[in-house]
Chain A
Amino acid sequence: MATRKKVLLKVIILGDSSVGKTSLMNQYVNKRFSNQYKATIGADFLTKEVVVDDRVVTMQIWDTAGQERFQSLGVAFYRGADCCVLVFDTTAPNTFKNLDSWRDEFLIQASPRNPEHFPFVVLGNKVDLENRAVSTKRAQQWCQSKNDIPYFETSAKEGINVDIAFQTIAKNALAQESDEGIDSAFSPSLTLGSSSDSNNRPNSSDCSC
């Protein structure tokens, strides 16, 4: 039995510009929505602690920071993702068509160990708007054809389905996480900065009892 570790899940959100990626994150984490559209500024990543199957999980949701606008997301963005959320705008058919290329792009860049079973979740956003152009059925069919990707219709503005969608994202990301054995809780890679700095000084002269 593997030792339980404190889990940090990295979730990345992909999709065309202005489908509402940042708004979905903000609605989920901060319960806030701003109607005024502008290209994402200040959106980096947000963290939220969630409880999944009795476990406290820290979910880190990474925004594209606008770098998707001219297809210029670097490979560094994709590193170590535990789940990939694909977002389209239910009123803009092109954003739905592009899901294919976003999914392919993710699989190429992130090159996950097990591409067939990597957890994706698809969100059809802006269902609060009248001018719907992508039917639920069409979206569901696409998701089924890609190894049954879970599909949710959301409204970041009204907060519709946002919580349940992210709860599923956390659950699937966690299920994906393999029982890597006892060692994985303290991975050998280092994140710089305050938290890991302090507990990693073998030669410090403090009390040695």
Chain B
Amino acid sequence: MHGRLKVRTSAEEAARKKKEQDLKAKAYRNGMDKIFTLRNAENFDNNLLELSGKILSVNPDITTLWNIRRECIIKMTTDNPDSASTLFDRDLNFTELCLQVQPKSYGAWHHRSWILENSPKPDWNREVSLCTLYLKKDERNFHCWDYRRYVARKANLSAESEFKFCDEKIQKNFSNYSSWFYRSQLLPVLHPHPSDSSRPISEEKLKEELEIVITAAFTDPNDSSAWFYQRWLLGYSDPKLDLACFKLTQSQAVIAFTKLVDLSKDKITISTNTSLDKGIWRSLSGNKSDSIWIQKGEFEISDDILIKMNHNDKTFELEARKIDNNSIIGIKLPSFGYEFGAAVKEELKNQLDSCNQLLEFEPDSKWTLLTAALLMRSIDRFQYHEKTLEYVRKLQKVDSLRAGYYMDLASKWILEEKLKNMVESGKFDKIDLSSLDLSVVYYNQFLFIGNEINLQNNSKLNKKSCKFALVDGCKVTF
């Protein structure tokens, strides 16, 4: 066999690997041991930095070692302030090597920001370049995106340049929550809505963004990141705080808000110029935060009441009228979404056309059905009410895995329509919500206004969602 290449057998190689592993483990334990001995003896010096450096460069995820390293640097710079810049520079280089081993190391990214915050002359622009580099390697490294937002702020980078950067990343790969998110933070700075502060961005920009997002959705409907962004654009976000509904009877007052509030903490003052102002509001559920609050007592039912809410120097009003000798009620129809201008509506209509065109080829395409439904609701939720319901009912069938989600969506839309009709008609006494195939009840804040609420024949209804039923004087039949 002279001259033939000899290779270890797999057993021999396994033995070699095991020996290597064992020795590494020993080296690791020995190193950690030495580090703790030094630290306990408060021997904060180069030796400690070197030892921890060796282990961290192999495994940058050991948080304890980063802590010890910071402790050590603080000690060394306190004892010898001249050494600071050398030490900081060294650790900047060091974290970079660690990040090459593990670009998603919490410890290494955090250590970097600590160095820079403590460094006398931090070079924030260099950090931005570093992020650019790492995001080039992996455009979805969210550790790096977080760090980028932080250093871009420190470096005073313009929103324009950061937006451009985000845009490049989206073009490369739009399955990127971090980049869409950053985009949603930058756009309101760059293109604020000129008149309506509740709207994040101007109509012109909105139109462009809608185009981008529908392109992403058509390219890869299975990617959820674009959908989330579309929701944001179309305004499916938390409602703004406002008064929602009020009902006063002889024994209690109920006031409801568009979102959860904690009246003991949130600096909300309610004034009615009645005896109510002296009483105590308690939440319906007993929780600290609630959207429905109740005051018990003996109340006189006399005149109409103007309820004023003050929050953050803003005043919100709700007019409550006496409708009979037993109750004074007020209701404010919530904004179910943005009212878009003509240009945006035009764009939404074009997109709806495209969806409908596609539905001719693929009548069962779930995401096309859903997009179309959402678009219709954004154009005119009530005009298209029946059609949108038809689409989600179909979705319950073709996408049975998410049937529950679609049912909830339909329940929400049905409630919106009912509420609107109720407010328009001005009739609140009896609310008929029977046989609507509801799975959940939204808009609890408005429903206690009725005296009798009929929820019969909704076999899939989650009764726990009907919190308003706890309000005294609300007769609910299931």
Listed in ascending order, the chain A residues whose CB lies under 8 Å from chain B are 1, 3-6, 38-39, 41-42, 54-56, 182-183, 185-186, 199, 202-203, 208-209
Contact = CB atoms under 8 A, between A and B. Distances in A.
B100 A185 contact: yes
Contacts of B2: 38
B140 A41 contact: no
Contacts of A39: 3
B5 A41 contact: yes
Contact of B133 (A6, A38, A185): A185
B41 to A, nearest CB: 25
A39 B3 CA distance: 8
B97 A186 contact: no
A208 B169 CA distance: 13
Interface residues of B, number: 32
Contact of B97 (A4, A42, A182, A202): A4
Interface stretch (B175-183, B410-418, B421-429, B438-446): B175-183
A209 B177 contact: yes
A9 to B, nearest CB: 15
A54 B129 contact: no
Nearest to B175: A208
B61 interface: no
Contacts of A183: 133
Contacts of A209: 140, 142, 177-178
Given A41-B5, A185-B100, A3 B130 contact: yes
Interface of B: 2-6, 57, 90, 93, 96-97, 100-101, 123, 126, 129-130, 132-133, 136-140, 142, 172-173, 175-178, 223, 225
B138 A199 contact: yes
A29 to B, nearest CB: 14
Contact of B4 (A5, A41, A203): A41
Nearest to B57: A56
Nearest to A44: B5
Nearest to A183: B133
B155 to A, nearest CB: 15
B175 to A, nearest CB: 5
A6 B139 CA distance: 20
Given A54-B90, A208-B225, A3 B133 contact: yes
A202 B173 contact: yes
A183 B137 CA distance: 10
6 pairs of A and B residues whose beta carbons are closest in the complex: A42-B5, A208-B175, A4-B93, A6-B100, A4-B96, A186-B137
A193 to B, nearest CB: 18
Contacts of A208: 140, 175-177, 223, 225
Contacts of B97: 4, 6, 55-56
A185 B97 CA distance: 11
B474 to A, nearest CB: 43
7 contacts: A3-B96, A3-B129, A41-B3, A56-B97, A186-B137, A199-B138, A208-B140
Contacts of B4: 41
A34 B125 CA distance: 54
B5 A182 contact: no
Contacts of A185: 100, 133
B40 to A, nearest CB: 27
Contacts of B139: 202
A30 to B, nearest CB: 12
Nearest to B138: A199
Contacts of B225: 208
Contacts of B100: 5-6, 185
Given A56-B57, A202-B172, A42 B133 contact: no
Contacts of B93: 4, 54
Contacts of A182: 129-130, 132-133
Given A185-B100, A199-B138, 9 more contacts: A1-B123, A3-B133, A182-B129, A183-B133, A186-B133, A186-B136, A208-B140, A209-B177, A209-B178
